Amino acid sequence: MRAARALGIGLVILLCAEPLLAANTLNRGDCRRMTRQIARYDRDAKWADERGNQVWEDASKARVKMLSERRDDRCPQYRKPNPLAQFADFVAAAAKAAAPYFIPGLGLF
């Protein structure tokens, strides 16, 4: 009985700790490397534009696009938030907070 209780508590602790352990993703080094590569190819595209080399500029921009898409797939922490989704979340939160004041019986008490 005591061993079953200890096992159950251990499983609960593991289940609670899973999100914290998942924060260190296996792709963390890859994400940083891709970020550095994106910055480098973006810089190369600017240099190519200054020098008037269209082929080099197009190749650098294509590489930036490919690396950005790959990083978005592998590294969700680097994705840019959608401003329209953020605004929609704000409006929904405001409506939820204001609803009890405008609709009677929604539970102010």
pLDDT tens, residue by residue, 24-47: 555 778 899 999 999 999 999 999
Give the CA distances from residue 89 to residues 72, 85, 86, 93, 101, in Å, rounded to whole numbers and listed in that order.
22, 6, 5, 6, 20
The closest of 56, 57, 78, 82 to 67, measured between CA atoms, is 78
Altogether, the residues listed in the chain come to a count of 109
- pLDDT at residue 84 above 90? no
pLDDT band of 81, cuts 50, 70, 90? confident
Instruction: Kindly report the number of other CB atoms within 10 A of residue 64's CB atom.
Output: 19
- pLDDT at residue 109 above 60? no
Task: Give the model confidence (pLDDT) of 51-70 as tens digits.
Answer: 999 999 999 999 999 999 99
**If you search the block for the tokens 């609670």, which residue do you land on?**
16
pLDDT, mean over the chain:
80
Question: So what's the pLDDT on residue 89?
Answer: 85
